[in-house]
Structure 1
Amino acid sequence: MESPGSEAARKRMRPYMEEEEDEAGAQIEEKEESEINIAGSEEMELNVSNIMEKIENFTQRVSELLESGKTMFKELSNEFEERLIMIHKEQIEKWQEEIKELRTLDASNEEANIVLHNAQYLLKHTHID
């Protein structure tokens, strides 16, 4: 039979040994999780790499669209400027032609006015005689 002291010592040792076994089990589980995380990390890194490639491709597309848009707007701007200058020139030419016609009409009216004035003068003076 065991002595009461040895039984107490055994009871004290059991929790200590159980803790060691628990710690050993936990370490084994951590190693297994670590191996899973490493495998997961490689997969994650591949996914991250794919996303980074998508970002790079998208950035490249945006850059190309910006350059294309700038070129298009520059061409449109040049065409707009040329067309607006042409419209201005055509309108100025029309107004200058109107001015020329008005001056011709005014000169013609002045000549007609002089002829009428002379006719009035002649009619007044012939009537008096």
Structure 2
Amino acid sequence: MENAESESTRKRMKPDEGEGVMIESEMDQKEEFEGIVAGSEEVELAIAHILEKIERFTQLVSESLESGKTMFQKISDEFEERMIMVHKEQIEKWQEEIRELRMLDASNEDANVVLHNARHVFQNANLDS
């Protein structure tokens, strides 16, 4: 009898399809309790009340897990979007820096050409004098 009680109170868990959550179905609960000799009506009502609590709690856990998954997915999507935006902004800054360096280099090259021409003019002027 004691072994039968421990067998009946031991919960059999199975994965809930789609959620990967281990829950005990009502059918499994009924199968476990069918093996026990039926007790008084009061005990049966108490058992039914406990089974209802189990079902409500299981539903609450399932809803909480689904809510958590949705929240984490939203946060993950927002994080991904922000990281992409940060990357894009940094690349644009560096590309602007490259454009400025090229403009500065072109300006320096132009100034170098003017200075080089001015040296030639002064050297030619000194040679002519």
1:50 positional shift: 2.0
Higher relative contact order (CA 8 A, sep 6+): 2
Q: Distance in 2 between matches of 1:83 and 1:42?
A: 61
1:98 alignment counterpart: 97
C-alpha displacement at 1:44, in angstroms?
3.1
Which amino acid counterpart does residue 73 of structure 1 have in structure 2?
A: F
Aligned-residue CA RMSD (Å): 2.0
Which shows bigger deviation, 119-128 or 99-108? 119-128
CA deviations 1:3-40 (Å, max 9, x no partner) are: xxxxxxxxxxxxxxxxxxxxxxxxxxxxxxxxxxx9x7
How far apart, in 2, do the equivalents of 1:122 and 1:44 lie? Answer: 116
Per-residue deviation, 1:76 = 1.5
d(CA) in 2 for partners of 1:64, 1:124: 89
Cα shift at 1:41: 4.2
Cα distance in structure 2, aligned partners of 1:125 and 1:72? 79
Q: Which runs of 5+ in 2 are unaligned?
A: 1-36
Residue 112 of structure 1 deviates from its aligned partner by: 0.4
Q: With structure 2 as the length reference, what TM-score do the two structures score?
A: 0.62
User: 5+ unaligned residues in a row in structure 1: which ranges?
Assistant: 1-37
Q: Which has the larger radius of gyration?
A: 1
TM-score norm. by structure 1 comes to: 0.62
1-structure distance, mates of 2:68, 2:127:
86
Instruction: Give me the whole-angstrom Cα distance separating, in 2, the residues matched to 1:44 and 1:100.
Output: 83
**Cα deviation code 1:37-88 (max 9, x no counterpart):** x9x7443333322222111111100100111111111111222222221222
Alignment of 1:1-129 (within 5 A): 41-129=40-128
Q: Which has the higher helix share?
A: 1
Instruction: Determine what percentage of the aligned residue pairs are the same residue.
Output: 68
